[in-house]
Amino acid sequence: MQPPVLGTDDWLDLALQELKDHGYGALRALPLAKKLKVTRGSFYHHFESLEAFHKAVIGHWAERSSGDLIKASLEADDPQMALNDLLQLTLRSGAQLERAVRSWATVHPLVAIEVEKIDDARIKTAERLLLRNGVTKSAAATRSKVLYWAAIGRMMLPFPEHNLLTKNEITKLTSLMLGK
């Protein structure tokens, strides 16, 4: 029986699942290879080093968690609705993988640098939506950071699922951020 032919995404999808379920300590070549039923050599076929793998995992997480959301937000015809939709998703989302990534970033400098880049891109998305809604540049810069920090802060609470705003409360927050 031939071993399965795996692509890079197979490794990265498993890595995200393991990170979510077991934390960053589970991101080791041999245990991942065993779960994929391949040799450790397959890992090094796809990733030149553990550092390259870690960067790829963070990139994969960023794309899966916010890539389409950022694109849709910036392409939306109605910037107020786009901002509200963005806040509805981010302020009511699950937190397990986000928490695992941020925990990893506290102990791994490369991961922290990569996560900071993702954070900056997410903040810039909110800022652009605020600007499209007529908020001044200085106010948009501040408000986008506060919104993002609130979303991440909620996720880092011991029980983020106990700390959700209602859809109506988020809609009111959207209006508040727009000065309406």
Is residue 156 within 8 Å of 100, Cβ to Cβ?
no
Q: Residue 56: in which H helix or E strand, if any?
A: helix 50-62
Residue 137: pLDDT over 90: yes
Q: What is the mean pLDDT of residues 139-164?
A: 92
Q: Which of 147, 99, 156, 155 is nearest to 123 (CA)?
A: 147
User: pLDDT (tens digit, 9 = 90+) per residue, 82-110?
Assistant: 999 999 988 887 678 999 999 999 999 99
Q: What percent of the chain has pLDDT over 90?
A: 77
Predicted local confidence at residue 67, as pLDDT: 87
CB atoms within 10 A of CB 151: 21
Tell me the per-residue pLDDT of 55-74, one tens digit each, with 9 for 90 and over: 999 999 999 988 888 899 88
What residues contact residue 6 under an 8 Å CB cut-off, 6+ apart? 36, 38, 42, 46
Query: At a CB cut-off of 8 Å and minimum separation 6, what does 65 contact?
Result: 97, 98
What average pLDDT does the structure give for the chain?
92
| Contact between residue 121 and residue 70 where contact means Cβ atoms under 8 Å apart | yes
For residue 160, what pLDDT is reported? Answer: 87
The predicted pLDDT at position 161 comes to: 85
Query: May I ask the CATH architecture of the domain 8-177?
Result: Orthogonal Bundle (1.10)
Structure tokens at 121: 């891109």
pLDDT reported for residue 20: 95
Which tens digit of pLDDT belongs to each residue from 108-119? 999 999 999 999
Where do the domains of the chain lie? 8-177
